[in-house]
Amino acid sequence: MKHRIKILTALMGFFCVLTLSMTVDAKSTVTPEPAIYAKSAIAVDADSGQILYQKNANQPRAIASISKLMTVYIVHQQIRANKLAWDDKVKISSELAKLSTASGLTNVPLTAGKAYSVRQLVNATLVESANAAALALGQKVAGTATKFAALMNKTARKIGISDGHFYNASGLTNKLTGKLALSHVSANAENLLSAKDVALLAQKLLQKFPKVTNITEQTTSTFYGTTMTGHNQLIDDHNLGQGVRVDGLKTGTSDKAGACFVGSATTNGKHRIITVVLGARNKSANDPARFIQTAKLMKWVYATHQPIKLAAGATIAGVDKAKIPDGKQTTILPVTKATHWAWADKGTSAKQISGQYVNQPAKLTSPTKKGTQVGQARLSIDGKRLQYIGHSAGKLVMVTNQSVKKANFFVRLWRAILRLF
């Protein structure tokens, strides 16, 4: 009899464990991260900068021609500031003309003494990844290659890039730029950025100058009779998932960098993400490894994640009421100032999102207008804080959802008396 009881007890224990295991598995919506075969990688939401995947994302690495995104970003800035125009002419020096036909470098042929428009050189820089065209743009903007390198680094710091360094507008090693090489650095010096900082640069470019994708989505173009062929193998790829479309952004390849790619994609025209793959396999010029890894990352994000909308005027659990000591009402519940999308594993509900003030909110004084800023909050899902690129990203501005008038003198006096006891 005792033997039977032991067997029965053991079986009950087994089925309890099995049932518990099945229950945990049923509730879990977390999908294992993909194995990305590259030195560094990251995927972020293009609008908010929320990090959806990262691998060695903080480590500065050679980025080769991805550097040209910074060159194009600065050119767009100059045009917006009316310091440059799309139709302005750029005269080509003999050194740049020589570089434009150098063996082993991606280029379009440039003629010494001939002038090309800024628009033509930008197109060549992004579609063909033309090195001499990028260097010509740098000289046009800053006067010399040295000054433009300094401007690149200054701009990087302004947009929040803290690590890494730029030596030239093209991404070539210092010695390959010929007479434009910087004299005070190593011949093998090469532009360096982390995957996270590449994503930040791409985000700023897309946010401030979204029409750049009209160029980066081109598979072919022409430059004075020369057919330019884009290097992005994911353009018009229909195997990325339903509604997923890639429209940029830039490749980069060198012995030190390996094969690199920063991608931009949307699903059904919405919810743009940015992916960065640095240091993928590079066995040949047509090695598709960086695109295979990017496609894997994009598919994983869209298949396993969902963006949850937090509309403007929404309350967030965990964000405490703001105090208005001299108001008719002494507390008020803050709401979000603007709409925000938070990415989460599929199956997650908005109820699982909570927030916490970045700093203790200041006490408000009345009368207080509707929309007065209370503070900034960071989001968490099931207690896990969401991560973002950029120093100020991920901080939601919280505001008052109504106006509050000042309490009359006697009410304020009575409150003051009560505080004494």
- Nearest C-alpha neighbor of 48 from the set 332, 350, 388, 277: 388
Can you tell me the distance from the alpha carbon of 256 to that of 136, in angstroms, rounded to the nearest whole number? Answer: 24
Give the number of residues written for the chain: 421
pLDDT value of residue 16: 41
pLDDT value of residue 8: 39
Helix (H) or strand (E) holding 213: helix 213-216
Can you tell me the distance from the alpha carbon of 404 to that of 370, in angstroms, rounded to the nearest whole number? Answer: 8
Count Cβ neighbours within 10 Å for each residue of 265-300 and write b for 16 or more, e otherwise: bbbeeebbbbbbbbbbebeeeeeebbbbbbbbbbbb
pLDDT value of residue 26: 36
Locate 253 and state its tokens. 């390849």
Region 40-304: CATH code: 3.40.710.10
* Percentage of the chain modeled with pLDDT above 70: 93
**What would the pLDDT profile of 314-343 be if each residue is shown by its tens digit?**
999 999 998 998 999 999 999 999 999 999
Can you tell me the distance from the alpha carbon of 298 to that of 264, in angstroms, rounded to the nearest whole number? Answer: 9
Q: Is pLDDT of 27 > 80?
A: no
**What would the pLDDT profile of 53-67 be if each residue is shown by its tens digit?**
999 999 999 999 999
pLDDT value of residue 417: 82
Is 129 tagged catalytic?
yes
Phi, psi for residue 406 in degrees, rounded to 5: -75, 140
Can you tell me the distance from the alpha carbon of 359 to that of 374, in angstroms, rounded to the nearest whole number? Answer: 10
DSSP secondary-structure letter at 194? -
pLDDT value of residue 29: 54
Can you tell me the distance from the alpha carbon of 166 to that of 145, in angstroms, rounded to the nearest whole number? Answer: 11
Phi, psi for residue 381 in degrees, rounded to 5: -125, 120
Locate 257 and state its tokens. 């960098």
Region 311-410: CATH code: 2.60.410.10
**Residue 376 β-bridge partners:** 397
Of residues 40, 48, 67, 129, which has the active-site annotation?
129
Q: Is pLDDT of 254 > 80?
A: yes
pLDDT value of residue 367: 93
CA distances from 166 to 22, 162, 180, 182, 415 (A): 53, 12, 14, 11, 61
Write down the domain spans for the chain.
Answer: 40-304, 311-410
Can you tell me the distance from the alpha carbon of 185 to that of 189, in angstroms, rounded to the nearest whole number? Answer: 7
Phi, psi for residue 140 in degrees, rounded to 5: -60, -40
Of residues 55, 68, 140, 296, which has the active-site annotation?
68
Residue 239 zone, left/alpha/beta (φ > 0; ψ -120 to 50; rest): alpha
Can you tell me the distance from the alpha carbon of 380 to that of 355, in angstroms, rounded to the nearest whole number? Answer: 6
Residue 80 zone, left/alpha/beta (φ > 0; ψ -120 to 50; rest): alpha
Pick the more confident residue, 7 or 346: 346
Q: Is pLDDT of 7 > 50?
A: no
CA distances from 48 to 293, 349, 384, 390, 408 (A): 23, 19, 17, 9, 43
**What would the pLDDT profile of 168-199 be if each residue is shown by its tens digit?**
999 999 999 999 999 999 999 999 999 999 99
On whether 250 is known to bind a ligand per the annotation, the reply is yes
Helix, strand, coil percentages, rounded to 5, for the chain:
35, 25, 40
Locate 369 and state its tokens. 């207008």
Tokens 């518990």, located at residue = 20
Tokens 């879990």, located at residue = 28
pLDDT value of residue 409: 82
pLDDT value of residue 122: 98
Name the least confident of 10-24, 92-106, 215-229, 309-323: 10-24
Helix (H) or strand (E) holding 261: strand 258-267
Q: Is pLDDT of 306 > 80?
A: yes
Is 405 tagged catalytic?
no
CB atoms within 10 A of CB 135: 28
Can you tell me the distance from the alpha carbon of 205 to that of 326, in angstroms, rounded to the nearest whole number? Answer: 46
**What would the pLDDT profile of 370-414 be if each residue is shown by its tens digit?**
999 999 999 999 999 999 998 778 899 999 999 999 988 888 888
pLDDT value of residue 30: 62
Is 65 tagged catalytic?
yes
* Percentage of the chain modeled with pLDDT above 90: 81
